[in-house]
Amino acid sequence: TNPMFSPGMNVDGQSGKSLDGLPFVYEKVRIRDTSRADSFLSTFERARAQMVEMASEDHDAYVADAEFVTHLTGRLLDRNLLPVTPVSSREYAALCDLADLTGNDTFDLFYGMFKFNDRAKMLLDKMRDNLAS
């Protein structure tokens, strides 16, 4: 399984945060007890997560690059670098939101996205080239 929302999101019934519409990607492999697996998945279905059954290889191909760039950008911006202002543009507000969304994630999560994504170095090189042009 891979809940496609930040572990730092701290979703619970008290915070008012919801899984409504957030993707929850899963693949049914090595299941010995289908009833237990279905019960586990139904927890997220009841929370109104968007359930997406997908092979892990397909998931990795779809999201590895996007998640790495998203978390890299969020780490670079940091919540303290971008204070919310009363006259922010939509673009600036989106950057503030990105910094907030990724701000509670661990360095280990980010490093894993770099270390285990074969394309991460190419993406960094491309970003550097974009800055130079």
pLDDT in tens, 44-86: 999 889 999 999 888 877 888 888 999 999 998 887 787 878 8
Secondary structure class of 80 (helix, strand, coil): helix
pLDDT confidence tier of residue 18, bands split at 50, 70 and 90: confident
Q: What is the mean pLDDT of residues 24-33?
A: 92
Mean pLDDT over all residues of the chain?
A: 84
Q: What is the side-by-side strand order in the sheet with 23-26? A: 2-3, 23-26, 50-53
- The pLDDT value recorded for residue 14 is 40
Residues 6+ apart with CB under 8 A from 89: none
